Structure 1
Amino acid sequence: MDQRLSSASVIFPGRRRFLPIRKTKHCESRLRRSAGHGDGRRRRRKKAQIKSATEDIPDELLCLVFMRLTSPVYLVRAASACRRWRRVIAADVLGGSQAQQHRVIGHYHVDEPLAVAATRPPGRHPVFLPGAGTKDVVVVAAAAALDLDFLPRTEFGELNWELADVRGGLLLLARFSHAQDLLGLVACDPLARRYKTIPFSAWFHGQRCFLGAFLRPEDDDAAGISLSDFGVTCVLYRGGIAKAYAFSSSAAGGGRWTSGAARGRGGAVNCRDGYQPVSFAGSTAGSAYWTVGFGARVVVALDKETGELSSASVLPDALRPSLDYAYELPWPPTIRACLS
């Protein structure tokens, strides 16, 4: 037998004959490549089947799955899996399905108001305090404390902003002079670290007592609020009359102010005696209250949703000014901020 032939042989079925097979390096490499190609084809076929199965899931069903995740961290991880999941998570269809789902992740704590500023809600020196068990959400929000150091400062480098109201992830802040005259208003999104200066109104000039400013949706049926779509209601007191003024961010020219009388709503309450002291009594989820006169003879109530003022004789039970403003983190804006 030729020495170049190896001792390896193959048995052909139906024959009792052994034939030598020439075993060369070329044959061995071809066998290895064919075996490898088979494994690769099987792997590619399996991946294609898995990909086809995930692509058959409609976007609406994926939204339902993502909505059941217990933390925005998981949403961020899911968005990193593939382009389609990222698109679904950041899409408006997911935002629309979760538009009403906000999570309170902490509070903005403020100091007691000065004695001369007791006519408005407390809001001095706001500091964010995360709630228990929400540190993962705060990390996703990319702000461990949601500081307000990005707001405009005075010529002396001071912030001097008072927190007036918090709603839907937006903050409303006001600045006052040493004589407690209103100097300016800003609305800000601490998560995105952006703010919008609210134009000053001629109604704010003069010796008027500022009772408070509150955020409200731009439309009565609005599902959310943002820097591009929000409203503000300010309440001023002068000469025994409390008046409400409304700001609309969607108006032409960057927004404008209107009075309650111009809107045809309850924009004024006559408190009888203009020399009686006014004090802020407290707020509920939908209203704010002030007392006028010694012994709270007149109660002024503001509907935060409509911006209407009304008078009453008694205050709601267990009402007192709070030093904590709950901050709700809307999920879709959080995810979009993390993916941008």
Structure 2
Amino acid sequence: MASPLTDIPDHLLAEIFLRLPTPADLARASTACVPFRRLATEGSFLRRFLSLHSPSFLAFLNEGRFQPALPPHPSAPAARALVLAADFTFSFIPSHSRWIVRDIRGGLVLLDRELEKDEEPTNFPELVVCDPLHRRYLVIPQVPDDLAPSLEHTFPRLPGLACVPFLLPLSEEAAKEEQASFSVIWLAYYETMMAAFVFSSSTGQWRAAASKAWSDLAFGDLEHFMAPRIPPSCMRRHYAYGVFYWDLLMITSKKMLVLDTNRMEFSVIDLPPGEWSREGLAIVEAGEGRLGMFGFRGEVASHLRYTIAQNKGTTPRQWQMEKTIALDSGYKYYIKAATERYLLLVRTQRSSVANPLYEYLSMDIKTLQLHMFV
């Protein structure tokens, strides 16, 4: 008599599940029985599965709220299941405060507390990192005063905006750990310098990780313009290969501010040659250690261009145009965000001036396929 499937050893069953073609197939298999569900939801197996299968684009953050994919987007069924299973109101955090979402990465959400009425803003407000799916959270201690002795020198007209928190993605080695730790970065904005403070959940402590004087960064003709005008909350953040990039298109610069988290060093690099539109750009991983960039050129943002650096490393050179994606000319487009696999585009009708209707589209950066998101 043949043995039931539940008698198959877990390590063999895991190898079978890893060969399922899509995450949706894994989700369906997990509903067959309790042993299947236990294996399919186990942390180390999920990390192996996701390393072999590109994650689906399920939802995005819009003005502090989660917007799931809606039909006919191919991720809509899974997005609905996520919304039903997770608590995106964060009611499991024991506090009467309202929490504001600051970053999302690797299934974790970074929150800070909204100020009470008549409460003075601080440079480093209270932070919480939580897992909405499993309803777990950790309150992050405040940055010690001895690590940031010059907080009084942050730009005085930017209380609450002079420092920006975000999550540091897990390295490949850390992601394989059974109880993977996480890190939070505070980017502090001073009149004379930039600084980064890093919290590690494995140590429970903050450390001063990097700093750089504005005068030591090669901003060229913007060297004396940067600090008093542009806080990090107004710069768009990108991530690829362990490096954060902030584009400076809002001040018509052809530069990007860089934080290499492998060496914890600040620097400045050039954008690819040409006039890039303020309608947004996205830095992505193009493969083989090379950077890729999506962006618009000129005043009319109807043709999305994809260019790839021909060298590896954090200082890209010899950019080469790979693709030009023609978009509907009846709309004006803007790049809202990017992940490891997807772009999120926003568009409005060119003829709509008053009360424009915003539509959101996702684009797979590997296949360049567009889908209406919501």
TM-score normalised according to structure 2 size: 0.54
Q: Which amino acid aligns with 1:150?
A: S
Rounded Cα–Cα distance in structure 1 between residues aligned with 2:57 and 2:335: 18
Partner of 1:259: 208
Partner of 1:302: 259
Matched ranges for 1:132-147 at <5 A: 132-138=73-79, 140-141=81-82, 143=84, 146-147=87-88
What is the DSSP-based 3-state SS (H/G/I as helix, E as strand, rest coil) of the residue aligned with 1:215? strand
Equivalent pair of 2:107/2:131 in contact (CA under 8 Å): yes
Partner of 1:149: 90
Structure 1 residues 237 and 92: alpha-carbon distance in aligned structure 2, compared to 1, 3 A threshold: closer
Rounded Cα–Cα distance in structure 2 between residues aligned with 1:189 and 1:172: 9
Structure 1 residues 292 and 237: alpha-carbon distance in aligned structure 2, compared to 1, 3 A threshold: farther
Q: Which amino acid aligns with 1:106?
A: L
Rounded Cα–Cα distance in structure 1 between residues aligned with 2:255 and 2:37: 55
Question: Which structure dedicates a bigger proportion of its chain to helix?
Answer: 1
Partner of 1:170: 108
Rounded Cα–Cα distance in structure 1 between residues aligned with 2:165 and 2:177: 16
Q: Which amino acid aligns with 1:76?
A: S
Rounded Cα–Cα distance in structure 1 between residues aligned with 2:337 and 2:271: 24
1:319 aligns with 2:276: no
Q: Which amino acid aligns with 2:45?
A: L
Partner of 1:129: 68
Q: Which amino acid aligns with 2:33?
A: A
Root mean square deviation of aligned Cα: 4.1
Equivalent pair of 1:106/1:130 in contact (CA under 8 Å): yes
TM-score normalised according to structure 1 size: 0.58
Displacement of 1:191 after TM fit?
Answer: 1.0
Q: Which amino acid aligns with 1:270?
A: W
Structure 1 residues 179 and 259: alpha-carbon distance in aligned structure 2, compared to 1, 3 A threshold: same
Displacement of 1:166 after TM fit?
Answer: 1.6
Q: Which amino acid aligns with 1:77?
A: T
Structure 1 residues 323 and 196: alpha-carbon distance in aligned structure 2, compared to 1, 3 A threshold: farther
Equivalent pair of 2:167/2:184 in contact (CA under 8 Å): yes
Equivalent pair of 2:90/2:132 in contact (CA under 8 Å): no
Displacement of 1:182 after TM fit?
Answer: 3.3
Relative contact order, higher structure (CA 8 A, sep 6+):
1
Rounded Cα–Cα distance in structure 1 between residues aligned with 2:9 and 2:266: 48
CA offset digits 1:243-298 (Å, max 9, x no partner): 111111101xxx1111125xxxxx32424547531143323332231549965487
Rounded Cα–Cα distance in structure 1 between residues aligned with 2:27 and 2:250: 52
1:196 aligns with 2:141: no
Rounded Cα–Cα distance in structure 2 between residues aligned with 1:306 and 1:176: 33
Match of 2:30 among 57, 72, 76: 76
CA offset digits 1:153-184 (Å, max 9, x no partner): 87xx44141x3222111112234656464311
CA offset digits 1:67-102 (Å, max 9, x no partner): 30642431222334xx4x455445566345325245
Rounded Cα–Cα distance in structure 1 between residues aligned with 2:81 and 2:250: 48
Equivalent pair of 2:183/2:201 in contact (CA under 8 Å): yes
Q: Show structure 1 runs of 5+ residues with no match.
A: 1-48, 112-124, 262-266, 329-340
Matched ranges for 1:86-125 at <5 A: 88-90=39-41, 94-95=45-46, 97-100=48-51, 101=53, 103-111=55-63, 125=64
Equivalent pair of 2:187/2:194 in contact (CA under 8 Å): yes
What is the DSSP-based 3-state SS (H/G/I as helix, E as strand, rest coil) of the residue aligned with 1:104? coil
What is the DSSP-based 3-state SS (H/G/I as helix, E as strand, rest coil) of the residue aligned with 1:75? helix
Rounded Cα–Cα distance in structure 1 between residues aligned with 2:86 and 2:44: 30
